[in-house]
Structure 1
Amino acid sequence: MVIPALNEEDTVVAVVRACLASVASEVIVLDSDSTDETAQRATEAGARVVNWAEACPEVPTRPGKGEALWRGVRAAAGEIVVFVDADVTTAEPWWVGALAAPLASPTVHMVKASYRRAMGRSDSGGGRVTELTAKPLLRQLFPELAGIDQPLAGEYAIRRSTALRLPFVDGYGVEAGLLIDIARVYGPAAIAQAELGLRRHRNRPLEELARTADEVAATILSRAGVGAARVSQRPAEPPDRI
């Protein structure tokens, strides 16, 4: 499993410990040049820390969360890759097994987490970009995905072989892009959901979320062929290299 991390020294240890206590056969923290003690604390907690440039050293790095996930897939050894965000404060060991279990069916290629999003002291109100950007656009442009509770969830499982066959948007639109692409290639039924309960993480201010919303919107619009929307992305691997 892979934990993408950038300057998450306050939360990464608890996430690593939860994942190490899970059914995961490996726990990799994919560190995107953190300037704090994220890498050191993750190592001390027992994770294998891989700097993102070293995950695929022959390819220069590009900025963005999607780039980190693309490299995380290449660093992973197993056929099932489970992602968990490093800023989650409610991670539980059973999450990993719950996310991986539906992939026992050969027709399932991705499992998205389903959960309630906390905001501050409230157990609801989180997921502003999801509720105000991603879901409305998906309902209008990709109605077959309207039933996905958390389309932007950072907690999900994917077949490694499937991930290698798909493009990865560089930035925060990566989850939306993968969701749409898997539904398009394998059908909406190839996407399952796993109930994880309540998710708390470091809520970001609106100024930071604006960039995220822009990237998510651009990804969904570009996948739908609407207007001149374009996103930068890593292309899928050629079949002879998978």
Structure 2
Amino acid sequence: MLEEVERWLSTRSWSAADRPLARLLAAKRATGQTVSVVLPALDEEATVGQIVAVIRRELMERAPLVDEVVVIDSGSTDRTSEVARAAGARVVHRDEVLPRLPAVPGKGEVLWRSLLVTGGDIVCFVDADLRDFSADFVSGIVGPLLTDPELQLVKAMYDRPLGEAAGEGGRVTELVARPLLNLHWPRLAGFVQPLGGEYAARRTLLERLPFPVGYGVELGLLVDALHLVGLDALAQVDVGVRLHRHQDGRALGRMAAAIYRTAQLRLARGHLVRPSLTQFERGADGFEPRTYAVDTEERPPMAELAEYAARRVA
């Protein structure tokens, strides 16, 4: 049994430095593959511009690795769209994509819709709240897909400091996602950051996967990819340190509930209770309950949509 566990934990892993940029550019020219970078954004004016500027400068102008950078704005009330556009991104509002299907709030909804407005053979997702952003976050996870035709999805792995505490970030990962994966999908136990928002995949894989509309999207995609293409088609790359805006405890609770629900759907479809989460906040008369619905909706594989099929023919 221990040997089997060790085999599962040996997820294909590299460092971003293992594939120099020159090698990636040569592979891109030889294969003719194109790369789209997608940033889902909601009120990220403080960080989105710097991320876009680094990608354009390092991976489009100095080295033509990335073919397009698209920011999908999911309803920002600040200057996210203006800042992203000024930095050189193409900005698309979530509600402009597939207007016949009203959008619902959630990160997964934005990622799913991004497949309709991007053209890359490889799609790279990057969260828009990263600070001190490095181009390695993109080149590191795109690189294995350009150089190894057997790979289908590559996730970034990194240290996640919480304040001054190194490695203390990723609280939902450690308290919810990692136990779930170890208990139910042990072949995925070797992924260091299973919920990380930075990953790249072949479009031909993404278009066949259902997308949970909310916080469960990363877990859902990883689990479904395992079942569709197998562990050997999945990998991870060390890109260093991830600095970003941290959520408060109550937001993390809602995130955890959505992730648990996503796992539950995959374990027992059709035998589920109505999902909600009650949390408590101190008010004038003591602790007051606040009940939230848990994300339950999922979008179907993009390949099943007539609009997507028509776009590809065109």
- Structure 1 and Structure 2 fold alike (TM over 0.5): yes
Q: Which entry has the higher C-alpha Rg, 1 or 2?
A: 2
The superposition leaves residues 191-217 of structure 1 with CA deviations (integer Å, 9 ceiling, x where unpaired) of: 110111110100111011111000011
Matched to 2:230, the amino acid is: G
Amino acid at match of 1:235: P
Q: 2:260 aligns with which of 217, 220, 223?
A: 217
Residue 36 (structure 1) aligned with residue 36 (structure 2): no
Normalising by structure 2, we get a TM-score of 0.74
Aligned to 1:208: 251
Contact kept in structure 2, 1:81 and 1:159, CA below 8 Å:
yes
CA distance in 1, matches of 2:193, 2:137: 15
- In the alignment, what sits opposite 1:238? 304
CA distance in 1, matches of 2:132, 2:154: 19
TM-score of the superposition, structure 1-length normalised? 0.95
Note if 1:12 corresponds to 2:48.
Answer: yes
Question: Higher mean Cα deviation, 166-175 or 215-224?
Answer: 215-224
Aligned with residue 135 of structure 2, among 80, 93, 113: 93
On the 8 A contact 1:90/1:198 being kept in 2, the answer is no
Q: Residue type of the partner of 1:15?
A: I
Aligned counterparts of 1:134 and 1:19: Cα–Cα separation in 2: 30
Aligned length: 242
Q: Which amino acid aligns with 1:192?
A: A
User: 1:166 maps to which residue?
Assistant: 209
Spell out structure 1 runs of 4+ moving beyond 6 A: none
CA offset at residue 159 of structure 1? 0.9
**Identical-pair percentage:** 44
**5+ residue gaps, structure 1:** none
- RMSD of aligned C-alpha atoms? 1.6
Distance 2:144 2:267 in 1: 28
Using the alignment, how far apart are the partners of 2:221 and 2:181 within structure 1?
A: 13
What is the aligned partner in structure 2 of residue 121 from structure 1?
Answer: 164
- Counterpart residue type for residue 10 of structure 1: A
Q: 62, 68, 92: which one pairs with 1:26?
A: 68
Higher mean displacement: 99-108 or 202-211: 99-108
Whichever residue aligns with residue 205 of structure 1, its letter is: D
Q: Which runs of 5+ in 2 are unaligned?
A: 1-36, 60-64, 276-295
Partner of 1:139: 182
